[in-house]
Amino acid sequence: MRTAVFDTIKSLQPYFFSLREIKKNVSLDIRIPLNWRYLDDNPDEIQIKVQDESEMNRLVSIIAESTKEGYDTVFNVAKKIIKVNLEEEEKIKLFNQKVEELKTLFLSSPLDKLKDISFDKKNGIRNPKSAGEIELGDTEGSATN
């Protein structure tokens, strides 16, 4: 039993703050960055309340009825909040990296090759004339003029 509780709490680190029972409710508190959002599609059986805010963090309580299902729900909601926001941060980081790569590509490639680039949601950057991925620059990675 202790191992399961330890593992569950450990899976929320470094965001886990506290776990409390108040009357007939369980309250799982997590401290998350201010720019994180908590989910809009929460189960009806929970409440989310902001307990405190600092310049960098927000203390959020996820509250449900103090039953096995309630405990499972608050832990699952906390895990989902953390997962969604970490994934969002990673997407932003990747987006910025790809923007920098595109800047480099545009600065180092001839205009006529850049005009053939198209963006396809399924397949990425494509050259519609060749039906393959566009290759810009010479074999050493620098642009051809």
User: Phi and psi (nearest 5°) for 114?
Assistant: -65, -30
Which pTM was predicted? 0.73
Got the DSSP string for 105-141?
HHHHS-HHHHTT-EEETTTEEEBTTTTB----S-TTS
Q: What band does 124 get if pLDDT is binned at 50, 70 and 90?
A: low
**pLDDT higher than threshold 70 for residue 143:** no
**pLDDT higher than threshold 70 for residue 126:** no
**pLDDT higher than threshold 70 for residue 135:** no
Average pLDDT, the chain: 83
Q: What band does 112 get if pLDDT is binned at 50, 70 and 90?
A: confident
Does the domain spanning 2-107 belong to CATH 3.10.450? Answer: no
- 40-97 pLDDT, tens digit each: 777 788 999 999 999 999 999 999 999 999 999 999 999 999 999 999 999 999 999 9
pLDDT of residue 67: 94
Tell me how long the chain is: 145
Domain ranges of the chain: 2-107, 109-145
